[in-house]
Structure formats: C-alpha cells, structure tokens
Structure 1
Amino acid sequence: MRKLVLQTLAAGTLLTTCPLPGALAQKAPAAAKTVGAKAVTTTASAPLAALFAAYWEDQAKLYPLSATAQGDYRYNDQLPNYETRAFRQQLQQVYQQYLISLQKFDRTKLSAEDQANYDIFEYEMKTRLDGLKLNTWMMPFAQFYSLPNNLVQLGAGTGSQPFKTVKDYDDWLARVDKFPVWADSAIGNFRRGMKAGVVLPKVLVLKMVPQLQAQVVTDPAKSLFYGPITRLPASFSEADKTRLTAAYQQAIATVLVPTYRKLADFLQTEYLPAARSSTGIGAVPGGTEMYRFAVRQMTTTDRTPDAIYQTGLAEVKRIRAEMEAVKKQVGYEGDLPAFFNYLNSDPKFTPYKTPDDVLNAFRAIQARITPHLPKLFGRTPKSPFEIRQTEAFRAATASAEYNRGTPDGSRPGIFYVPILDATKFNVTSGMESLFLHEAIPGHHYQLSLQQENTTQPKFRRFASYSAFSEGWALYCESLGPELGLYTDPYQKLGALGDDMHRAVRLVVDVGMHAKGMSREEAIKYMMDNEPISEQGATAEIERYMSWPGQALSYKTGGLKLRELRARYEKQLGPKFDLRAFHDEILAGGSMPLAVLERRLDAWAARQR
C-alpha cells in the first residue's frame, strides 16, 4: 500500500512486559484438521499457548494504543511513557526472558502449526532485542510516524478510540492528560540525539513543525480534539454533557494546546538548527548498523542492501520496457519522460470536480471486481469495509492507506484517500491497482481474515510483517486482469506505474541510506522513471528518509509470492488451484517470508 498504519520502532512496536507465568506441563487434546480428503492430526501445546497468551496480555498493558487499535479497550485511559531509558531496559529484560522461556520447548516435538508459532515468536523476540541495541530512540518521531499526529486522529473521534459511553469520554481525558510527560521525554531524547549527532534531516523537521502548529488554537471549540463533544450521544444525561464539555475545553486549552505548542517551538527554534543537511541514515553515527537492521527487519531476509539495489535496477529496466509498449499502444510518439509529462498535464486525465467524484470512482472499481472475487478466493472477511476521504489535518503529508477494523466488526476497515484538490486527482495515477492493493483483496482481505482467525494466538492474529503484508498487497495488484481490470491502457499504465514505484524504491532507499544518493537525486530518479509529479515524488522520498528500509518490503514480498506461485504452477500442473493457493497464504496471516515459504512448500506437497 501507499501507507499501512503501523507503529514503528521509534514510535514503539507491539511490545510486552512482566515475568512469565509458570509453564504448564500438560498438553491439550489432539485436534484433527481436514486437508483435502485426508485427516491430519496436530497437537496443540498448552504450555506454549500459555506463553503466547501471557506475552499478549503483557504487551497490551505496555502498549495500550496498540490494544485500542485492535479493539481491546481495557487500557483506553493509558498512555505510558515509552521514551525513557527505564522503559527500554525493561523491554530488553522482558524479551530476553520470553526468548529463554520459548527455547525451553523442544521444537521437534511440536505440531507443524506450533513449529510455525515457535519460529515466528523466536524471530520476533530476537529482532526486538537487536533493535534495542540501536540509538533510533534519539529520533522519537518524524513527519510520517508521529504519536502527536496519531493522537489527533484518535482524539478527533475518527480513529480507533471509541466515544460511545461516558466512560469512553473519561478514558480519553485520562489518556491525553499523560501526553505532556511523553512530550517532555521526547524532547529530551531529541536533545540527546543532538549531542550525539543522531538527528533528523532539516527538510523533515520543516514538515513536522506545521503539523504540530495546526493543533495550536485559541478557541477550544475549533480544535479537532473537540470533535467528540460535537457528537455527544443523546443518551448522556445533561449533567454529563455539561461536565464533559467543560472538561474537554479545559483539556484542550491547558493540556493539548500547550503541549503541541511546546513541541513545535522546540523543533523550530532549538532542533532545526541542529538538524542535518544530509539525506540518508548512513550519515549519522551508527547509521550503517541502523540501516542494515532496518533492511533485515523490513524484508525479513538476510539480503544485503547492494543485492536489493541490483534487483531494483533490473526491475526498473523490465517495467520501463512494458511502459514503452503501452505508450506505443496508445499512439504517443514522444519519449517516456515526455509521455509522463503528458499524463500529468493533459486535462482529460483530471475529470473530477469534487471529493465525492473521486470516492465514487473507487466505489465503481469495487463494484467491477466483486463478481470475479469468488474465482480467486474461497476465504472472504466478515469485517465491513468503507472508503473515506483522509481528514484534512493530515491529508497534505498522507498517502492513500488502509486502517484495519476491529475483529468484532464494530469498526470497519477503512480505505483512506487523501484528496487535497479533486480537480487535480489524476485517473492515470493507478486507481485500479491502488484499490487492489489498499482495499480489496489487498490489505482488507489479509488483515481482516488474519484477525478474524481465532484459532491463532493473538500475537499472530495481530502481527504485521511489512514484507508479507505489503508483498501480498503488491501481489494483489498483479491480479488486475483476473479481476476484470486494466482493460483501459491508461489504467494498465497506472498499474505499471505503481509496480515501477516499488522498483524505484529499492534503488532510492538503498541509494540514499547506503550509497550517498541525495534527496534531490532520488526525486529526479523517481520522476525520470514513473509518471509522478514533483510534489508527489518529494513526499515519497521524504517518507523513505524518515523510515529507512520500509520501502524495500513491497517488492521483496511481492517478488517472493510471484516466485512461489510460478513454482507451484510448474510443480503441480493441472492440480494447481489458484484459489486454494491464495487461501493458504491468507490462512496463516502475516509472517516472515522464510516461514511462509516453508508453509507453502508443505501445502504444495499435500496437493500432490
């Protein structure tokens, strides 16, 4: 996707704390699975399940914002300060203890499914421990990942924070009351980074300041955080309505506005002069190690940055040839850069007048693919789905994105589309491929089916490995012809543009962070190879600057899935069932690519 809403290392991934409970000695009864015509017996390990359950309970307490996003509302009044050294030390101790407890199990005696659980959990603990060795905490947030921005979405009532009961409203007041302490610690970490030379690029800081300043208002009623008060449920008593209105006005005026002002002023007056003019993370002390870790974490592979860079160059060359073929098909006689300029400038490619026109065009794409979906998918999610315009306060720096719903369906999965000016929304931007990626069958199918699968331990139901989730979504873009799309050559070109976008990412991400490529060179390379505006290319490149390595996950995962599909089509011949292949991928949920490959190899063996 253009952006899947996740927490990052700097903002805190799904984490855990507290000692483990005593290991149980018994095993659960064997359960029979039916695979084709054969019954396969598996044994679920109760002690292992208890370990996973303890982990999940602990991380919900430690990272309650993540719990809220997953529909666990027990800690909706909490906002722990994860910017402290004590917190990081606690994490190191906890992950090490969970890893030790896991490795007491004999993996060879576990069922196939528990072996996968073991492998994923071990990978997760080791990766988190490795991440804690780095000084990424010295850059607490940036323009693309930001607790202050996340709080606005939550507090406006448009995110996962519920505002249905009086307790919900009181929970939010308690949560934001802890924001100033977090902000002070974040400033402290920024200052430590300034002393160590581990700082963000100036161009990113210049984008962060307006985001924070936008929340500084003189009239609380004009704050986005006042939104829930404008929608107070009629069932509330008049006394509660009066109390909550006064409390929200006070919280905005005395807690939120001063904190956002303090953060903005610090970044503008103190941090900006110390920010760096360099582009890539490799320029800061320890940056080479930070990037190598980011590559490993985001791709879930041991591929080197240089190998990924070479893959990017090869993919750019391949896709350019396909773009040339489409250019020839539509009769355009200029070169490819001129063709891109034509696509970006001819008025016929910007036919929309209002945001609703854009949203309805995406709804029409959904209607076109719906009849074809049963041919490719046996598993479909129960979760509802909506298409919405991205909120104005964050639209300028947002990409199109998918926000997962809750497992019980009380909040739908939402495909957000940023529309700054509907009259400039270009139909050749890859609308069809974007929908397949962000919405259906991409992120909505994968994330919804994963969290609806109650047979999995929760650490897998809510797991998110970018190489899997983004790889799956990119793979879904390639299903366009099988879903009745890309019949218009310009939409096919848009899909090629999206594929090219992910190939270019391999080149510019590694180029900036490991090979000395500048921001300006990266923007030019992107514009030379895909139909994207300078504004769009700038936003993308600055995103990669703020989140090293994440952009590598798309192509890495997408190419792996295409490779596996081709392998099994060749191995199985007429026995290959595409729908069964897709269902098997989605059945296990997000996981490291090596674990996925083992799982699918076993599935293919059963088909024979």
Structure 2
Amino acid sequence: MNRNILPISILFALTLLQGCSKPEPKVIPDSEINAWFDSEYEELIQMSPLQLTTQGRKDRYGEIDDMSEEAEDRKLAWMEESVKEMESKFDYTLLSPQSKVSYDLWKYQYEMEKGDLQFRRMNYVFNQMGGVHTMIPTMLINFHKVDEASDMEALVSRIKESGRALNQLLERAKLQTESGIRPPKFAYEYVIQQSEALIQGQPFTAGKNNAPLWTDALGKIDKLEKDGKITAEQAEEFRTNTKNALLESFKPAYEALIDWLKTELPNLEEKPTGLSRHEMGNAFYAHKLKSSTTTNLTAEEIHQIGLSEVKRIQQEMLAIKDQVGFKGDLKEFFKFVNSDPQFFFPNTDEGRQAYLDESTAFLDEIKQKLPQYFGILPKADLVVKRVEAFREQDGAPQHYNQGTPDGSRPGTYYVHLSDMKAMPKSTMEGVAYHEGSPGHHMQISIAQELESVPKFRTQMGFNAYVEGWALYSEALAKEMGQYKNPYYDFGRLVNEIWRAIRLVTDTGLHAKGWTEADAIKYFSENSSIAPGAIQAEVRRYMVIPGQATGYKIGMLKIQELRKHAETELGDKFDLKAFHDVVLGGGALPLDILEKVVKEWIAEVKGS
C-alpha cells in the first residue's frame, strides 16, 4: 500500500469540509447603503422646512423650522437612533472605500451635534453676522419662489410663522442671559438696527417707502396677476392677507425683540474680551476650534501657525512693493494702497455698479480657463449682487449663497457696498475667485450636482474644507494666469494675510484675553485692510468664535496634500485629477480628506 495516498474515506471527508466552509463575505454594494442613507437623509431634512427651500423644494412650503431646544433634542435623538441602525445594519469592513467615507461622515455629524449639546446656551442667539432675525426675511425674499397661487399662500403662512420662530429664539436668548452668557454690546446694537430696518416703511409706518418684505410680496403678487395665474380679486386678497400677516405676526415679534434687546444694552460690556470671560469658555472654544478646523489643533498651536504665516506672507508683500518701485517700508506701502484714490471706486451708485461689473468680468475670464485645471465642472450659473439694504453693513465681508441643486436658482456672490472706501479695488479680484469660481460657487455647486454619493454628502459644509478650498482657489487663480495687475496680486496677499491674521486674533480674543482694541491693533499693524473692514472683522470673530480659523488651516492642509501627491507621484501627478479627487466627494473633514487623497495616490502608483 502506498502510504502517500490518503484513504478514500478521508479524502471524501475533506471534500465535504471544503464544501461546507463559509463563502467569502461579499462587499456591500454602494447602491444598497446609499439607498439607506438617502432614505435617512430624507427623514432628517423633512425636519427643516427652510433647508428644503434652500434646496429648491416646496415640501412644507408654508412652514418655518421649530427653533426650540425641544426640537433640537428630538433631532439629536433621531440621529442617535439612525447611527445605531447604521452600525447594526452595515458591516464596515464590507464597504467600499467611498461607502466607508459616507459611513464615517454620517457618524461624524452626529458626534459633532452631540458635542454641541453641553454648550447649547453659549452660542449667541442674536448677533450681527447671521442671526435668524435677518436670515428668515432674506430667505423669504430670495429663496421662497412664487410660481403659483399656492406658493403665495405659503409665503403668507411663512410670514405668520416667522413671528412664532422669532419668539422662540427670543425665549432662548432669555435663557442664555439667565445662564450668564451675554454677547458684546455692539452685537445687540447692530441687531436692533437690522430689526428696526425690517419694520420701517409701509405697511408698518407711514411714508412713501415700503418695508423689504412688503416690497417683495407686492412684486410676487403682481407677477402672478400679470402671468394670468390669479385674478385681480385674488391679487387684492393676497395683498390684504400679506399685510395682515406682517402687522399681526411679523411686526409684534420684531417689536418684542427690539424692546428686550434695548433693556439688555445696559447689562452688556462695551469692551469685552472673548469666550474666556465666560464660565466653561475655554472648553467651549476648544470645541469650536475642533468644529471649525476639523482638527485637534489647540488654540496655542493655531496662534503660532498664524504668527508664522503672517511673517511669510509679508516677505511676499515686500517683493511686490519692490516690483512696483514703491519707496518706503511695508507699513508705508499699506498706507498708500489703503488711501490712494486710484484704488477705490467712487462712493456713488455708478461706483457700486462698477465694482459689480468688474467682479463679474474677472469671473467670466477665469471661467474660460477652468477646463484646463478641472475635469469636473459645475452646471449652475453664478450672479454677483449687492447685499439687500436691510442687512448691509459698512465694510462687512462679501459672501456666497448657494443655488439650488437643479440649477433653478443660481449661486449668488453678495457684496456689501454701502461704504466704497471699505471696498478697495486691489482685493476685489481675489475675493471674486474666493466667493465665485474656482472657489465657493464651484465647490458647492459640484457637491450639489454629485450623483455617485448619497444625497446628504452633496449638502455638507465643513468649514475648514469649504473655506480652505476657497482660499486655496485664490492662490490657484495666480497659477491660472490671473492677477495681471501687480497691485491686485498684492491684494491677493492682503486676502491671504487677512486669513493668517485671523488665526492670531481669533485665538487672541478667545484664549489669551485680548480685547477688541488689541485685535484691531494687531490687524492694523500687519495688513493694509481698511479700518472699517478691520473693525467689522474683529467683531465677527467675537460673536462667532473659531469660525474664522478654518480658512487658513484648510488651505494649508489642501496645499500640503497637493505637495505630498506631487512628491509621491512625480511624473504621474495630474493636477486636474487631484482637483477632481478633492472636489469629487463633497465637503469632508480634513482627516477624511487626507485619507481619500492618500488612497488616490496609492491607486495611481499601482496603475
């Protein structure tokens, strides 16, 4: 007998064992988990009528969000259950790389909201930068489209609802005050001005001028009548109903808010420091930094990065000063660029229109070059507009409002033009690229138009990623051949040092006991930004702590990842492909972005 041959019975048993062994687990298809995410996201977004409107949808069109703490509790409890379901339903090890990112993001947003809970009453309910007192009217005017009679009925309903929402927030502000948390005095002074502007003019007060919401409603009603969507009688009924809603719901809520704010003014500090003056202020600021930068950098680390970047950028500024032949030091050059008439449009309607026209021209020019640097391009249009009068502030920063995913509403680059002396020509070009393309408009529009990821990822907006990309775009525009005027290239550096100074001043205010005057002094000594803009900026940092740190931290990370990819890939590096990887998954926390880029590098290396 050949001892090397196993008996047939043993071979048969081995065969049976092999046949009964468990098959290799199958990778969960993206389509399966994406369908689950889409279903969950639909439940989540249905909790916010205003977010539905932002996306161009008309679900719950006559409603405004529940602004109460109880509503926040219900949302957080829902998110907790959703994460638990996800963890039990999907084995993370069986997901594709793209689905792992989605899984991580769904859990990440829950963890951040959960972290917010202990600091619920520390975010200032009303401030001059973006409180609901101006957000709701802005949305009703710009986002609530009226195409049919039912849309106008919904608008009237929302005007009524705005009173309820504002009253809920007023109650929350009172709870915040009872907790010992009060904003600086200037914040409420601005909010009073903004709120009073909303209830000035017809139908609230006598005179020829109309209040903003009344003007908007009349225009929408007139268009419905002109288009034959409603009769003259229906139009008159809508005017009556709108007026009643404004007078009976909207006005009383704003009057109550204004009255309360005025009673609070004597209790507010004229010259406050930042969050460190509040109980739990240091812990809250650390949380805000983590939220804004999506990193674990400490306030001190961010402060030092800012100081280092300020020094580096000033060296580049000196080079441009020498290039244009200016005789004098950098501070004298700052003064020249900040005051010489050639760098400003007239403080007239013609000058304001010129600012809008030139910004549009810069964006039209760079749009032609985008295909050379990006494979993925946005479909949505972009318009440049002046901020509405009721919320316009001298020297306040320009900003972007996203369009709808279906393109029915374009993205809008908004500019504050009430004081043209605070809007120098030199910085205009870089800001246009930041807010427009290849900055916010391009990044946000591409995200909204993505079809390969679940819907929730098309609407995410991590601060460090979004603002970091926009600041990266300002520098990228130079690579693309823009900034032909050296003074405008200097303006690009003004914009960049502005963001570096933010790292220093934001952390100075909230972690080092700086006053508003301390921050303004550092800002003034290290930049050519107009005094009015500097004050507006510093006051912004004081009421929305940490947010301003995301820009430079995000930009530095994207530049770091690009340099790493260039080094690792050598001749295989493709800038268009790199940009598509960064933009092709929507906004991401910086650590997840780094993981995605490094996986792409490994994939290219292996190809």
* TM-score, normalised relative to structure 1: 0.89
One-letter code aligned to 2:250: L
The aligned residue for residue 44 of structure 1 is 30
Describe the shift of the 1:140–1:83 C-alpha distance in structure 2 as closer, same or farther (beyond 3 A). Answer: farther
State the Cα distance separating 1:68 from its structure 2 match: 0.8
The aligned residue for residue 548 of structure 1 is 545
Q: CA RMSD in A?
A: 1.8
Distance 2:38 2:576 in 1: 32
Please tell me whether the aligned partners of residues 164 and 253 of structure 2 are also in contact (alpha carbons under 8 angstroms). Answer: no
Match status 1:416 vs 2:414? yes
Instruction: Kindly provide the CA deviation profile for residues 345-370 of structure 1, in whole angstroms up to 9, marking residues without a partner as x.
Output: 11111245432211111122123323
The aligned residue for residue 377 of structure 1 is 374
Instruction: Kindly provide the CA deviation profile for residues 569-591 of structure 1, in whole angstroms up to 9, marking residues without a partner as x.
Output: 11111111101111111111101
State the Cα distance separating 1:551 from its structure 2 match: 0.4
Match status 1:291 vs 2:285? yes
Question: Given the alignment, which residue of 117, 133, 143 partners 2:128?
Answer: 143
Match status 1:230 vs 2:223? no
State the Cα distance separating 1:273 from its structure 2 match: 2.2
What runs of 5+ residues in structure 1 fail to find an aligned partner? 1-29, 31-40
Distance 2:68 2:130 in 1: 15
Question: Given the alignment, which residue of 252, 256, 274 partners 1:258?
Answer: 252
Distance 1:171 1:150 in 2: 18
Question: Given the alignment, which residue of 51, 56, 76 partners 1:92?
Answer: 76
One-letter code aligned to 1:123: Y
Match status 1:600 vs 2:597? yes
Instruction: Kindly provide the CA deviation profile for residues 178-237 of structure 1, in whole angstroms up to 9, marking residues without a partner as x.
Output: 222322222222222222211111121111110111112352271111113124221222
One-letter code aligned to 1:405: G
Distance 1:547 1:136 in 2: 13
State the structure with more CA Rg. 2
One-letter code aligned to 2:312: R
Alignment of 1:168-567 (within 5 A): 168-217=151-200, 219-220=202-203, 222-226=210-214, 227-231=216-220, 232-233=222-223, 234=226, 235=228, 236-269=230-263, 271-276=264-269, 277-352=271-346, 353-396=350-393, 398-422=396-420, 425-428=423-426, 430-567=427-564
Provide the secondary structure at the position in 1 that maps to 2:200.
coil
The aligned residue for residue 101 of structure 1 is 85
Please tell me whether the aligned partners of residues 116 and 595 of structure 1 are also in contact (alpha carbons under 8 angstroms). Answer: yes
State the Cα distance separating 1:335 from its structure 2 match: 2.3
Distance 1:275 1:190 in 2: 14
The worse-fitting range, judged by mean Cα deviation, of 328-337 and 555-564 is 328-337
One-letter code aligned to 1:606: E
Identity, in percent, stands at 33
Distance 1:189 1:377 in 2: 45
State the Cα distance separating 1:481 from its structure 2 match: 2.2
Please tell me whether the aligned partners of residues 406 and 412 of structure 1 are also in contact (alpha carbons under 8 angstroms). Answer: yes
One-letter code aligned to 1:445: M
Please tell me whether the aligned partners of residues 98 and 125 of structure 1 are also in contact (alpha carbons under 8 angstroms). Answer: no
Distance 1:570 1:138 in 2: 43
Distance 1:495 1:200 in 2: 32
Distance 2:361 2:487 in 1: 17
What runs of 5+ residues in structure 2 fail to find an aligned partner? 1-25, 204-208
Describe the shift of the 1:167–1:595 C-alpha distance in structure 2 as closer, same or farther (beyond 3 A). Answer: same
State the Cα distance separating 1:527 from its structure 2 match: 1.2
Distance 2:91 2:280 in 1: 37
Please tell me whether the aligned partners of residues 136 and 290 of structure 1 are also in contact (alpha carbons under 8 angstroms). Answer: no
The aligned residue for residue 116 of structure 2 is 131
Please tell me whether the aligned partners of residues 345 and 351 of structure 2 are also in contact (alpha carbons under 8 angstroms). Answer: no
Would you identify which runs of 4 or more consecutive aligned residues in structure 1 move more than 6 Å?
A: none
Provide the secondary structure at the position in 1 that maps to 2:118.
coil
Provide the secondary structure at the position in 2 that maps to 1:333.
coil
Instruction: Kindly provide the CA deviation profile for residues 303-361 of structure 1, in whole angstroms up to 9, marking residues without a partner as x.
Output: 11111111001001101111111112222222222221111111111245432211111
Please tell me whether the aligned partners of residues 422 and 530 of structure 2 are also in contact (alpha carbons under 8 angstroms). Answer: no
Describe the shift of the 1:275–1:94 C-alpha distance in structure 2 as closer, same or farther (beyond 3 A). Answer: farther
Describe the shift of the 1:167–1:441 C-alpha distance in structure 2 as closer, same or farther (beyond 3 A). Answer: same
Please tell me whether the aligned partners of residues 42 and 112 of structure 1 are also in contact (alpha carbons under 8 angstroms). Answer: no
One-letter code aligned to 1:426: P
State the Cα distance separating 1:500 from its structure 2 match: 0.1
Distance 2:95 2:421 in 1: 58
Which has more helix, going by share of residues?
2
Provide the secondary structure at the position in 2 that maps to 1:354.
helix
The aligned residue for residue 71 of structure 1 is 56
State the Cα distance separating 1:137 from its structure 2 match: 5.9
Describe the shift of the 1:323–1:222 C-alpha distance in structure 2 as closer, same or farther (beyond 3 A). Answer: same
State the Cα distance separating 1:45 from its structure 2 match: 5.5
Provide the secondary structure at the position in 1 that maps to 2:239.
helix
One-letter code aligned to 2:307: L
Distance 1:245 1:523 in 2: 48
Please tell me whether the aligned partners of residues 317 and 490 of structure 2 are also in contact (alpha carbons under 8 angstroms). Answer: yes
Please tell me whether the aligned partners of residues 122 and 181 of structure 2 are also in contact (alpha carbons under 8 angstroms). Answer: no
Provide the secondary structure at the position in 1 that maps to 2:584.
helix
Distance 1:91 1:283 in 2: 31
One-letter code aligned to 2:111: K
Please tell me whether the aligned partners of residues 378 and 583 of structure 1 are also in contact (alpha carbons under 8 angstroms). Answer: yes
* TM-score, normalised relative to structure 2: 0.89
Alignment of 1:566-605 (within 5 A): 566-605=563-602
State the Cα distance separating 1:606 from its structure 2 match: 1.6
Please tell me whether the aligned partners of residues 378 and 580 of structure 1 are also in contact (alpha carbons under 8 angstroms). Answer: yes
State the Cα distance separating 1:421 from its structure 2 match: 4.0
The aligned residue for residue 20 of structure 2 is none
Provide the secondary structure at the position in 2 that maps to 1:383.
coil
One-letter code aligned to 2:425: V
State the Cα distance separating 1:136 from its structure 2 match: 3.2
Provide the secondary structure at the position in 2 that maps to 1:478.
helix
Distance 2:593 2:341 in 1: 45
The aligned residue for residue 8 of structure 2 is none
Provide the secondary structure at the position in 1 that maps to 2:493.
helix
Provide the secondary structure at the position in 2 that maps to 1:416.
strand
Count residues with an aligned counterpart: 563
The worse-fitting range, judged by mean Cα deviation, of 552-561 and 392-401 is 392-401
Describe the shift of the 1:423–1:501 C-alpha distance in structure 2 as closer, same or farther (beyond 3 A). Answer: closer
Distance 2:130 2:420 in 1: 26
The worse-fitting range, judged by mean Cα deviation, of 90-99 and 244-253 is 90-99
Distance 1:88 1:466 in 2: 21
